[in-house]
Chains A and B, each alone.
Chain A
Amino acid sequence: MKFISNICSSLWPELSGELKGRETQWSIDSSIRYPLLGMIKPAAFWFVVSLIFGLIASIKLHSPGFLGSCEWLTYGKVEPVFWNSLIYGWLFNAGLACAFWLLARLGGAPIGNGFLLTVSLSIWNVALVVGLIGILMGGTLPLNWRESLTVSGQLPYEWLEMPPFIAPILLASFIGMGLWGLLTFRERVHRASYASQWYVLAALFAFAWIYTAAQIMLIREPSQGSLQYLVGSWYANNLLMIVIVPLALACVYYLLPKALGTPIVGYNHSGRAFWSWFIFASCAGSAELINGPIPAWVTAVGIIAAFGILYPLTVFGIQFLSTLFANFTRIWDTLSLRFVLFGCIGFIVFGAYYIYGSLRSTQEVAQFSSFSNGVQLLGLLGFASMIFSGFLYFILSRLLNKELPSAALAEIHFWMQLSGVLLLVSSLITGGLQEGELMNGSTVSVLSIVVNLKSYYVMASLGMFLMLLGAIAFLVSFTLFMFSTRSEKEETGTLIGESPELEASVS
């Protein structure tokens, strides 16, 4: 098979650093320890917060009386707070922490500019708190506040619900973080670049671009009526497909060879997979707008683009899964790899559902149901969140030069996250298909559909609850990591020796 021969011919960036080995790594890690921990702390916090909101929203669908009299926690507010804190809180902080760590490590030299990163990420997180409170406050303000800049009512665009005045602050702080990434890449010692670096740079650039475009076209110079719907969905699709997914892909490309000690199978297909992913995924979102009040050809383009994703998806599937399965016995013992294995499987399933969901015939059934939320959560929680979790365990012990404080907690995190995602996503997807069949395919009253779907709503809540337990286990685990005292072995700095697995890639 071609791919097997590719193992041998895999393109590897050459080693050209001056300092070698653990000493360099240690000096790199020390140079970024402070800002990176500054991102992992809020990440762990947001992970728990977002799932608390997710759980509240989910419970409200089967028991609407739950926290029912509290205006701040009405369903229409907790639901967007869940999504926004999940994405901009947990996935952005965790994803960027992983991405920056691998940029620094692959660059091969200690990094300065920590101040820039620390300031930007602090502003990002503070702005996020304010923005989410803005969503929650949406209604408590008297009507005549509507003219004021601060609270103008929740915006109805997916993942852009935060008050408009927050957007420039978020963008500026993101650009600060992105600049840090760019400088790190520029100052690298190893001139050759590796797939992980492309994905990180691309994701940084893509977010700055789509966020600016969406803000201008929705808020500063709003486009007309139904076109806002188009811009909003273009943004949300791209946020998922060309910002968050690439960050997670970067981690997979880095972690697999590192932790397994073998190169990625078929690595030389990575360039084509990279470009085709961005070309197709950035156009595929409009498939869901089918039969809406927008030009029909736009959705047709979306459907075609969604099919284009098949190519990079196949490449990723073959690369990741063959690399993993070639070393299957080692996966189970390494926690990070177990996360990555299930994350990769989650990604393939996500991609398949994404393409399936863009078919005309699927949309006829599933449009406006929980199906598409299920697919999005599969990508966000089943893929990105799994990968980032595994990667964080991998980098934390290196950053802090400590051993995992409690294997049991990490196991709980793993199993809760896995079972929670399975329950949540399967209830949203299968429940969504059933919901759609009743909503779109019959005239059964909405009231009886709601009653009919109750068991799915309960299942989704259970899934959210399990995920929340997992997130809490991660938070506790991380806190122990931070505060545990170092053992003698850890003190001497030899904990992470030059194990063969770390020699597999650049640094």
Chain B
Amino acid sequence: MNRGPFIFVGLFIVLAFSWANLVNRPIQQSGQLSAIYDDSERKPRIAPGAADQGKLVYQQMGCVSCHTQQTRLTVGSDIDRAWGIRQSVARDYVGQYPALIGDRRIGPDLSNVGAKELDSEWHHLHFYNSQITSAGSNMPSYSFLYDVRPVIGQPSDRALDLPEGYEVDPGYEVVPTRRAEALVAYMLSLKVDYDLPEAPSPEKIGL
């Protein structure tokens, strides 16, 4: 092994093997997936425009460091926790760029959070200060996505209804910025509550 070229050619082959098998082959196999239409319903769903902007906020804030968007059926307790209704499959992510799948869960999985009974008011309070809705949580406060401004005339109907202990100075109100509105719209749009033929679910495998 005295020759540089030998190392380079050898390594080229090794890396090409790794890339061709573990990256390129799966892409050839399942990279051409497309959405399916079922009773004129598109699966996966297309999120509304506001949600698209919210996704960008989600990216910018790095929510993916703490939240995944994938659920597993045969292992873990994702289904029991109601984080999803079935196994996540490749088709669920068709058209997503970037796909915010994630591999670290400090908080819950969010792939189906829009199907939960959490309304936009709850999400706003939670983002403004997670302690309001979830005392003891280590989810950061995103209060910088909210404007604190003096009430002029009528209070805004979008102002947060802050509970005791979290109020701002009298005469002021807390109003979501466009970014906060977009982020909440994105949360509410996250719904994987439809079935796909290839996706294993508890019913299909008889769990």
B partners with A:
yes
Q: Which of A171-213 contact B (CB under 8 A)?
A: 182, 185-186, 191-193, 198, 201-202, 205-206, 209-210, 213
Pair B18/A64 contact, Cβ less than 8 Å: no
Pair B77/A440 contact, Cβ less than 8 Å: yes
- Residues of the B chain whose Cβ atoms lie less than 8 Å from the Cβ of A15: none
Judged by a CB distance under 8 angstroms, whether A1 is at the interface is: no
Judged by a CB distance under 8 angstroms, whether A227 is at the interface is: yes
Residue interface bits B42-83, CB-to-A below 8 A is 1, else 0: 000000000001001101111111101010111111001100
Judged by a CB distance under 8 angstroms, whether B142 is at the interface is: yes
- Residues of the A chain whose Cβ atoms lie less than 8 Å from the Cβ of B92: 225-226, 293
CB distance from A484 to the nearest CB of B (A): 39
Quick one: which of A76, A185, A442 contacts B66, CB cutoff 8 A?
A76
- Which residue of chain A has its CB nearest to the CB of B139? A64
Pair B74/A291 contact, Cβ less than 8 Å: yes
Judged by a CB distance under 8 angstroms, whether B156 is at the interface is: no
Where chain A touches its partner, the secondary structure class is helix
Judged by a CB distance under 8 angstroms, whether B37 is at the interface is: no
Judged by a CB distance under 8 angstroms, whether A403 is at the interface is: no
Q: CA A410 – CA B77 in complex, angstroms?
A: 48
Q: CA A291 – CA B95 in complex, angstroms?
A: 21
Pair A217/B141 contact, Cβ less than 8 Å: no
Pair B15/A210 contact, Cβ less than 8 Å: yes
Stretch at the interface among A37-45, A116-124, A362-370: A362-370
Interface size on A, residues (CB 8 A): 95
- Residues of the A chain whose Cβ atoms lie less than 8 Å from the Cβ of B4: 182, 185-186, 193, 201
CB distance from B43 to the nearest CB of A (A): 13
| Highest count of chain B CB atoms <10 Å: which of A64, A156, A227, A275 | A156
| Highest count of chain B CB atoms <10 Å: which of A74, A152, A238 | A74
- Residues of the B chain whose Cβ atoms lie less than 8 Å from the Cβ of A292: 70, 72, 88, 101
- Residues of the B chain whose Cβ atoms lie less than 8 Å from the Cβ of A457: 138
Quick one: which of B72, B98, B179 contacts A291, CB cutoff 8 A?
B72
Pair A191/B11 contact, Cβ less than 8 Å: no
Pair B144/A69 contact, Cβ less than 8 Å: yes
Residue interface bits A422-454, CB-to-B below 8 A is 1, else 0: 000000000000000001111100110011000
Pair A76/B90 contact, Cβ less than 8 Å: no
Stretch at the interface among A228-236, A340-348, A378-386: A228-236
Pair B14/A282 contact, Cβ less than 8 Å: yes
- Which residue of chain B has its CB nearest to the CB of A158? B103
CB distance from A246 to the nearest CB of B (A): 10
A61 and B101 in contact, given A71-B144, A139-B57 (Cβ under 8 angstroms)? no
Pair A238/B26 contact, Cβ less than 8 Å: no
Residue interface bits B115-158, CB-to-A below 8 A is 1, else 0: 00000000000000010001111111111100000000000000
Judged by a CB distance under 8 angstroms, whether A351 is at the interface is: no
Pair A450/B136 contact, Cβ less than 8 Å: yes
Quick one: which of A80, A223, A225, A446 contacts B65, CB cutoff 8 A?
A80
Quick one: which of A68, A157, A206, A233 contacts B141, CB cutoff 8 A?
A68
- Which residue of chain B has its CB nearest to the CB of A188? B4
| Highest count of chain A CB atoms <10 Å: which of B2, B4, B99 | B99
Pair B21/A223 contact, Cβ less than 8 Å: no
Pair A225/B95 contact, Cβ less than 8 Å: yes
Q: Which of A293-322 contact B (CB under 8 A)?
A: 293-295, 298, 301-302
- Residues of the B chain whose Cβ atoms lie less than 8 Å from the Cβ of A442: 77
CB distance from B197 to the nearest CB of A (A): 15
- Which residue of chain A has its CB nearest to the CB of B34? A224
CB distance from B70 to the nearest CB of A (A): 6
- Residues of the B chain whose Cβ atoms lie less than 8 Å from the Cβ of A198: 1, 7
Judged by a CB distance under 8 angstroms, whether A286 is at the interface is: yes
Judged by a CB distance under 8 angstroms, whether A338 is at the interface is: no
Q: CA A62 – CA B106 in complex, angstroms?
A: 12
- Residues of the A chain whose Cβ atoms lie less than 8 Å from the Cβ of B65: 75-76, 79-80
Pair A368/B60 contact, Cβ less than 8 Å: no
Q: Which of A233-247 contact B (CB under 8 A)?
A: 233-234, 238, 242
| Highest count of chain B CB atoms <10 Å: which of A139, A182, A285 | A139
Quick one: which of A143, A158, A238 contacts B53, CB cutoff 8 A?
A143
Residue interface bits B1-31, CB-to-A below 8 A is 1, else 0: 1111001101110110111011100110111
- Residues of the A chain whose Cβ atoms lie less than 8 Å from the Cβ of B137: 64, 447, 450
Pair B26/A295 contact, Cβ less than 8 Å: yes
Judged by a CB distance under 8 angstroms, whether A401 is at the interface is: no
A202 and B97 in contact, given A76-B65, A447-B134 (Cβ under 8 angstroms)? no
Pair B98/A222 contact, Cβ less than 8 Å: yes
Q: CA A398 – CA B154 in complex, angstroms?
A: 74
Quick one: which of B15, B29, B70, B179 contacts A293, CB cutoff 8 A?
B70
Pair A227/B27 contact, Cβ less than 8 Å: yes
Judged by a CB distance under 8 angstroms, whether B94 is at the interface is: yes
Pair A367/B76 contact, Cβ less than 8 Å: yes
Judged by a CB distance under 8 angstroms, whether B96 is at the interface is: yes
- Which residue of chain B has its CB nearest to the CB of A451? B136
Quick one: which of B7, B59, B75, B95 contacts A156, CB cutoff 8 A?
B59
- Residues of the A chain whose Cβ atoms lie less than 8 Å from the Cβ of B12: 205, 209
CB distance from A261 to the nearest CB of B (A): 24
Q: CA A301 – CA B28 in complex, angstroms?
A: 17
Q: CA A193 – CA B108 in complex, angstroms?
A: 52
Interface residue ranges, B against A (CB under 8 Å): 1-4, 7-8, 10-12, 14-15, 17-19, 21-23, 26-27, 29-33, 53, 56-57, 59-66, 68, 70, 72-77, 80-81, 87-90, 92-108, 130, 134-144, 178-179, 182
Of the A-B pairs whose beta carbons lie under 8 Å apart in the complex, a sample of 15, sorted by A's number, is: A61-B106, A153-B56, A186-B4, A222-B97, A226-B30, A227-B90, A234-B22, A278-B15, A292-B88, A292-B101, A302-B22, A372-B103, A373-B104, A440-B75, A443-B81
With A154-B59, A367-B75, A439-B77 already in contact, 18 other A-B pairs whose C-beta atoms are closer than 8 Å: A62-B138, A143-B182, A156-B59, A186-B4, A192-B2, A209-B12, A209-B19, A223-B31, A225-B94, A278-B11, A279-B17, A286-B22, A293-B88, A293-B89, A302-B22, A368-B104, A446-B107, A447-B134
Interface residue ranges, A against B (CB under 8 Å): 60-62, 64-65, 68-71, 74-77, 79-80, 135, 138-139, 143, 146, 152-158, 161, 182, 185-186, 191-193, 198, 201-202, 205-206, 209-210, 213, 217-218, 222-231, 233-234, 238, 242, 271, 274-275, 278-279, 282-283, 285-286, 288-289, 291-295, 298, 301-302, 363-364, 367-370, 372-373, 439-443, 446-447, 450-451, 457
Please name the 6 residue pairs, one residue from A and one from B, whose CB atoms are nearest each other, closest first. Answer: A76-B62, A225-B93, A153-B59, A138-B60, A139-B60, A282-B18
